A and B are shown apart, each in its own frame.
Chain A
């Protein structure tokens, strides 16, 4: 355990000094507007601060240090060049209201990234404004809503969401003011077309589909599904969080997708930063494109500009134009790798997931025993595993030096363990991971208490998460 900064603080210590002023704030401003008590912030030297945060960083598992097989999160290697290039001073110091001719470099990158995302998805327009995947979903569904409002179909009040969807999908539909209609998946893990047909009506605004879906399968009837959705007068929204499985292999526009989001912090190698910043660009087919948020970068006579008119736009999703530092990383990625490499990326992501699935078979089985896309979903049956639950396996993996897979998701798989190796892991690493799980399997048979007591090697033991919610302590 590391002390809090405030516990290390000593009055009078400090890290940074600024130039002296000639006068005090009170000489410029009325006293009643001024602060009377200093905020309780830590007082530390620069060296104290450096050591404090360095030591904290060492308490983390991270992708740079450990295999991080979190399903649905696409923890792929983030090339180091982008760390430097995305913060070059002229980019970092660009003010969003600077004259456009002073920010042509930034605008060109935004424009070219829009163009490349259009090419990769087959869609007609992209906005880079959304700050994260969930923010992209909200942008997409509000775009759908603006489309329907403009087409006299405001009476469409429902959004259909399969039960395999990320929790963000139904929450998003609700934030856009839609009622959520949940539909069950069929026994093979894909959309149940009968259930979909029964749910579709003249009230349906959109169907939100994750492709590949959260059990790691491509919706094999995608063309039929999109025909059904369109026949009902609704739009097809694709959650592109799992696009790493399709990049360079297929274009969502060819499936009949009308609107979708991508996660630059997943498929396009921007690091996750412990929880953001991300970037969730949203693409739209031609008939929906006018309703995207404004502004979008345009190129006019060789000059890049944000001033284009978008009279039907839904408005703004955030201040300014998007998480540009993350956009820069996505741009770097797509300039460093050509179409053949993108195809290789998706293929190797798929190969890696199937390899782990095949190697674990007989010990930890996939819930759907078929070839998967970029991730595989295993299921544990505690009744045949000496009372061991998925959470125990996850915690034990930490002792073996691996981060844990995503657990207890998707909800339709009991005791789920969702593994997404990504393409950047080598066979050697996957073999080491499989070996660790095999060892754990043996422990389950012989010494299951090792799992119940895990983790033993971390800075803290197993945490009682409920204890935090009882009497919340959220600050010093």
Chain B
């Protein structure tokens, strides 16, 4: 049994309570509702459970992964899970009793600091569920800040992010339009200029966009700000080892998926929602934040702060209902960044750029295939195939390669287009093997 009670314990405890059986304690539950029949599997011992999970794991097929599309395979240094897996972090609750939770609180403060440094933003929260929900919360905050209700999003925003945004805004009287894309797979600046107005609350930029391409963020930002609208930038935090930070091009809010910073792919979850803003919008940010306080001896201490924004105080007037977030994933991210430092982050980002461009060159050497759309890209790019992308995926799978994401699933005109990602995990030999595999098609 999972419980530590001996028969003797149980007897003594029942005596202390003054009842003769546990059932007596359940008098409030109508008898006809109590003790129904359950059809559940038999209990496994730990040893048998272990064998069972290993057998299930073996049903997942290992493939050389070239899929990105929102979740990316990166190297995770051993120290990351070794530290975050310590029971003192893993089995602590949200740090309500600050004096007994300084470890968790300081790591969150350090996480917020690293995020601000990386994004060049003023404030960051303790984390959100994932990049998509962080973006939805940023949009809701932008609507509250501006008092405007029209939102323009990049057509090249991740399709799941679009769906989540729709879910979060559907009952809030917010309209969503998409910005026009030009032939090179980036947004048209003049088209956005025509689209924005003094009713626009915000524009949601994806940098890189879903096709992997890099937008002219500076220009798009200027266009958005001329009408008094806000810029919500959705970025890949690992790319910021080399790419311009969103704060540098004037983002008002930043939302990002932090899985890339030391968290495994885990079939897409948990992710790590990063949410940051300019200082002026600090009190509009939903979710937990940690700040510096003083203890009674005037020493530095950390606490959850600005809680007057939150649901347990404001109830139905709160900015959001969020409470638990992804603290352990944020811990992984801050350990990862502490291990890499600015130099390591630059190196890994550069390695991504190089390997992706190497594969693009190799693919361009294969007859019938074309890599890229003419726009600059970070570690992900479109490959136009002579056959349906679906066929390429099926073919390469037989050679142990996950070829990429089938863009035909989101847009019928892109049936022959594959979205291919290369991170530092792929060796130069892997790239060659990929190109060779295409040659047979």
Q: Which of A300-358 touch B at CB < 8 Å?
A: 314-326, 328, 332, 334-339, 341-345, 347-348, 350-352, 354-355, 357-358
Interface size on B, residues (CB 8 A): 199
Q: Is B127 an interface residue (CB 8 A)?
A: yes
Q: Is B133 an interface residue (CB 8 A)?
A: yes
- Known contacts A6-B113, A94-B265, A463 near B40 by CB under 8 Å: no
Please state if A273 and B90 are interface contacts (CB–CB under 8 Å). Answer: yes
Please state if B353 and A90 are interface contacts (CB–CB under 8 Å). Answer: no
Please state if A472 and B291 are interface contacts (CB–CB under 8 Å). Answer: yes
Bound together, the chains give a CA A24 to CA B354 distance in angstroms of 8
A211 CB to nearest B CB, Å = 10
Q: Is A120 an interface residue (CB 8 A)?
A: yes
Residue numbers in B under 8 Å from A75 (CB-CB): 91, 93
- Known contacts A30-B376, A409-B312, A73 near B28 by CB under 8 Å: no
Residue numbers in B under 8 Å from A426 (CB-CB): 4-5, 9
Bound together, the chains give a CA A307 to CA B290 distance in angstroms of 41
B92 CB to nearest A CB, Å = 4
Chain A contact residues: over half helix, strand or loop, or mixed? loop
Please state if B270 and A458 are interface contacts (CB–CB under 8 Å). Answer: no
Please state if B347 and A475 are interface contacts (CB–CB under 8 Å). Answer: no
Q: Mark B203-245, 1 if CB is under 8 A from A, else 0.
A: 0000000000010011000000000000000000000111111
Please state if A319 and B57 are interface contacts (CB–CB under 8 Å). Answer: no
Please state if B61 and A58 are interface contacts (CB–CB under 8 Å). Answer: no
Please state if A105 and B341 are interface contacts (CB–CB under 8 Å). Answer: no
What are 23 residue pairs bridging A and B, where the CB atoms are less than 8 Å apart in the complex?
A29-B353, A35-B245, A46-B339, A50-B82, A53-B107, A90-B58, A95-B67, A97-B405, A102-B402, A132-B324, A167-B312, A223-B30, A250-B35, A274-B107, A276-B127, A318-B133, A338-B43, A406-B96, A458-B100, A463-B296, A467-B293, A474-B112, A475-B117
- Known contacts A62-B88, A108-B59, A424-B4, A21 near B311 by CB under 8 Å: no
Interface centre among A249, A319, A468 (most CB of B within 10 A): A319
Q: Is A403 an interface residue (CB 8 A)?
A: yes
Please state if B25 and A350 are interface contacts (CB–CB under 8 Å). Answer: yes
Q: Is A150 an interface residue (CB 8 A)?
A: no
- Known contacts A5-B338, A62-B92, A475-B112, A106 near B267 by CB under 8 Å: yes
- Known contacts A90-B58, A371-B27, A350 near B22 by CB under 8 Å: yes
Minimum CB distance partner of B294 in chain A: A467
Q: Mark A110-142, 1 if CB is under 8 A from B, else 0.
A: 000000100110100000000111110110001
Please state if B291 and A318 are interface contacts (CB–CB under 8 Å). Answer: no
Residue numbers in A under 8 Å from B133 (CB-CB): 131, 135, 317-318
Q: Is B313 an interface residue (CB 8 A)?
A: yes
Residue numbers in A under 8 Å from B264 (CB-CB): 87, 92-93, 325
A202 CB to nearest B CB, Å = 19
Please state if B60 and A57 are interface contacts (CB–CB under 8 Å). Answer: no
Please state if B297 and A461 are interface contacts (CB–CB under 8 Å). Answer: yes
Contact with A220, one of B28, B39, B168, B290 (Cβ below 8 angstroms): B28
- Given A50-B79, A318-B271: 5 more A-B contacts, CB < 8 Å: A57-B86, A89-B57, A93-B264, A273-B90, A474-B305
Interface centre among B127, B129, B354 (most CB of A within 10 A): B129
Residue numbers in B under 8 Å from A271 (CB-CB): 90-91
Please state if A137 and B321 are interface contacts (CB–CB under 8 Å). Answer: yes
Interface size for chain A: under 10, 10 to 19, 20 to 34, or 35 or more residues?
Answer: 35 or more
Please state if B13 and A427 are interface contacts (CB–CB under 8 Å). Answer: yes
Please state if B266 and A468 are interface contacts (CB–CB under 8 Å). Answer: no
Minimum CB distance partner of A473 in chain B: B292
Please state if B2 and A337 are interface contacts (CB–CB under 8 Å). Answer: yes
Q: Is A56 an interface residue (CB 8 A)?
A: yes
Residue numbers in A under 8 Å from B242 (CB-CB): 25, 29, 34-35
Please state if A468 and B305 are interface contacts (CB–CB under 8 Å). Answer: yes
Q: Is A207 an interface residue (CB 8 A)?
A: no
B379 CB to nearest A CB, Å = 11
B265 CB to nearest A CB, Å = 5
- Known contacts A18-B344, A61-B100, A467-B293, A41 near B71 by CB under 8 Å: no
B310 CB to nearest A CB, Å = 8
Q: Which of B342-367 touch A at CB < 8 Å?
A: 342-351, 353-354, 357
Residue numbers in A under 8 Å from B181 (CB-CB): none
Minimum CB distance partner of B355 in chain A: A21
Bound together, the chains give a CA A73 to CA B323 distance in angstroms of 12
Contact with A335, one of B2, B49, B100, B322 (Cβ below 8 angstroms): B49
Bound together, the chains give a CA A5 to CA B106 distance in angstroms of 10
Q: Is B440 an interface residue (CB 8 A)?
A: no
Q: Is A33 an interface residue (CB 8 A)?
A: yes
Q: Is B101 an interface residue (CB 8 A)?
A: yes
The stretch of B145-153, B156-164, B429-437 in contact with A is: B156-164
Q: Is A287 an interface residue (CB 8 A)?
A: no
B58 CB to nearest A CB, Å = 7
Please state if B9 and A427 are interface contacts (CB–CB under 8 Å). Answer: yes
Please state if A134 and B324 are interface contacts (CB–CB under 8 Å). Answer: yes
Minimum CB distance partner of B39 in chain A: A119
Bound together, the chains give a CA A22 to CA B383 distance in angstroms of 24
A218 CB to nearest B CB, Å = 4
- Known contacts A98-B63, A343-B35, A60 near B103 by CB under 8 Å: yes
Q: Mark B264-297, 1 if CB is under 8 A from A, else 0.
A: 1111111100000000001000001111111111
The stretch of A78-86, A229-237, A437-445 in contact with B is: A78-86
Please state if B341 and A42 are interface contacts (CB–CB under 8 Å). Answer: yes
Bound together, the chains give a CA A63 to CA B88 distance in angstroms of 8
Please state if B316 and A171 are interface contacts (CB–CB under 8 Å). Answer: yes
- Known contacts A62-B88, A145-B171, A41 near B340 by CB under 8 Å: yes
- Known contacts A1-B299, A398-B99, A424-B4, A119 near B106 by CB under 8 Å: no
Please state if B340 and A14 are interface contacts (CB–CB under 8 Å). Answer: yes
Residue numbers in A under 8 Å from B16 (CB-CB): 355, 358-359
Please state if B214 and A29 are interface contacts (CB–CB under 8 Å). Answer: yes
Please state if B60 and A106 are interface contacts (CB–CB under 8 Å). Answer: yes
Q: Is B65 an interface residue (CB 8 A)?
A: yes
Contact with B88, one of A64, A254, A343 (Cβ below 8 angstroms): A64
Please state if A463 and B83 are interface contacts (CB–CB under 8 Å). Answer: no
Q: Is A446 an interface residue (CB 8 A)?
A: no
A236 CB to nearest B CB, Å = 14
Please state if B91 and A351 are interface contacts (CB–CB under 8 Å). Answer: no
Residue numbers in A under 8 Å from B299 (CB-CB): 1, 460-461
Q: Which of B22-80 touch A at CB < 8 Å?
A: 22, 24-30, 33-36, 38-46, 49-50, 52-54, 56-63, 65, 67, 69-71, 73, 75, 77, 79
Residue numbers in B under 8 Å from A173 (CB-CB): 316
A429 CB to nearest B CB, Å = 9
Please state if B301 and A463 are interface contacts (CB–CB under 8 Å). Answer: yes
Residue numbers in A under 8 Å from B97 (CB-CB): 61, 394-395, 398, 403-404
Bound together, the chains give a CA A357 to CA B163 distance in angstroms of 48
Bound together, the chains give a CA A218 to CA B248 distance in angstroms of 55
Minimum CB distance partner of B317 in chain A: A174
- Known contacts A46-B79, A98-B402, A271-B90, A52 near B338 by CB under 8 Å: yes
Please state if B107 and A93 are interface contacts (CB–CB under 8 Å). Answer: no
Contact with A319, one of B5, B257, B311 (Cβ below 8 angstroms): B257
Q: Is A32 an interface residue (CB 8 A)?
A: yes
Q: Is A68 an interface residue (CB 8 A)?
A: yes
Bound together, the chains give a CA A342 to CA B3 distance in angstroms of 10
Please state if B266 and A92 are interface contacts (CB–CB under 8 Å). Answer: yes
- Known contacts A170-B316, A338-B41, A64 near B87 by CB under 8 Å: yes
Please state if A49 and B79 are interface contacts (CB–CB under 8 Å). Answer: yes
- Known contacts A33-B376, A323-B269, A15 near B340 by CB under 8 Å: yes
